[in-house]
Amino acid sequence: MPEFAETYARARSLFLNAAAARSARVESFRNPHGTGSDEELLYTDVAVLGPARPARLLLCVSGTHGIEGFAGSAIQASLLRDGFGTGAPRDLGLVMVHALNPWGFAWLRRVNEDNVDVNRNFVDHRQPPENARYEDVHAALAPASWDEDKRDRADELLTGYAGRQGMLALQAAVTGGQWTHKDGLFYGGARPVWSHQTLRTIASRYVAGVPRIGYVDLHTGLGRRGWGEPIFRGGPDPGALGRARAWYGDDLTMSDDGSSSSTPITGNTASLVASLLRDGQRLTAITLEFGTLSGTEVLAALRADNWLHMRSGLSRSQAKTIKQAMREAFYPDDPGWRDMVWNRASTVLGQTIRGLSEEADFE
């Protein structure tokens, strides 16, 4: 059972200690855009095990959404500590990207230092995507005031939208990503942010020339509580979906066909990895999403946190309440939940390693 940390600094220490214990090669990237809540320096760290030129690679990322990195960090540190398990081929490499968004991790936010959702930032910012439906709900998601009457009115607007359009339409409008309101939710940014550039550097270095790549981005906050849902995130070759189904079985879901707890999103990290591949390389990519609270409760926590950082004006006690709600939404203080996360992560990452080892061909 891994240790689940309560601060970014402790999570980083556990990760680096696990990497050192396994004599992993470590590279650290300092985020120059601020410090943590205790004025600690902020880093994205990379731990690498296996051959210098692997034939197969497991690339695993935590903390794309800041606060979601607590669970991901514990998973990564434990996999480093315990190894690949029995039966892993000698030509398998492991690259663990720890705390891709260290600012959000340290400040208990899902977004980065610019209020950008890193998992919506991997787009062509010269021609950003459009999400016209977000315009219908922005005012309710990010109201100008956070008093009780204004919150109730905003809730009514969101409830009315769901009543007219359906809950899935509301979820798509809110979570699909938007590139127009920098003070809003799920904002994809106006340019590649530091975390984007850092992942590009890391992925370019480690996926170059590797024939078989399994990609797992670790997230929390969506779906059934404690369950880790493998959500297909693609691969450029036509066999990617067949491989993913063979690896993960009936548990595999897809945003595009409605089987997932996630609606389609644009600009996610897996799309960057896919863009770096050359002929002959095969990518099988998933998001591994661990559920916490209901979607309504998670959205309420995000709205309050957005107000706290964008508008301010709240008392210290109100700020503490909001941050506690963020923890419950993305990192519950629940030993049972944490046990479920670790057990499920062990299963899914084991499936990924076995899938890479078997090299099934679905061309």
| Predicted confidence (pLDDT) per residue in 93-110, tens digit | 999 999 999 999 999 999
pLDDT score at 13: 98
Considering the domain boundaries, does residue 34 fall inside one? yes
What's the pLDDT band for 361 if we cut at 50, 70, 90? very low
Averaged pLDDT for residues 126-152: 91
73 CA to centre of own chain: 11
Considering the domain boundaries, does residue 318 fall inside one? no
Averaged pLDDT for residues 169-189: 96
pLDDT score at 311: 76
Task: Give 155's contacts (C-beta < 8 A, 6+ positions apart).
Answer: 140
pTM over 0.85: yes
pLDDT score at 314: 62
Considering the domain boundaries, does residue 63 fall inside one? yes
Considering the domain boundaries, does residue 178 fall inside one? no
Bridge-based pairing of strands 43-49 and 228-234 is unpaired
- 205-231 per-position pLDDT tens digit: 999 999 999 999 999 999 999 999 999
Nearest CA-CA partner of 210 in 360, 96, 51:
51
Considering the domain boundaries, does residue 304 fall inside one? no
pLDDT score at 86: 56
Q: Where are the beta strands (DSSP E) in 50-156?
A: 56-61, 92-98
What's the pLDDT band for 144 if we cut at 50, 70, 90? confident
Structural domain harbouring 276: 8-124+191-295+330-358
Considering the domain boundaries, does residue 168 fall inside one? no
pLDDT score at 350: 94
Considering the domain boundaries, does residue 185 fall inside one? no
Q: How many domains does the chain have?
A: 1
Considering the domain boundaries, does residue 45 fall inside one? yes
- Copy the structure tokens of residue 39: 């004025």
What's the pLDDT band for 146 if we cut at 50, 70, 90? confident
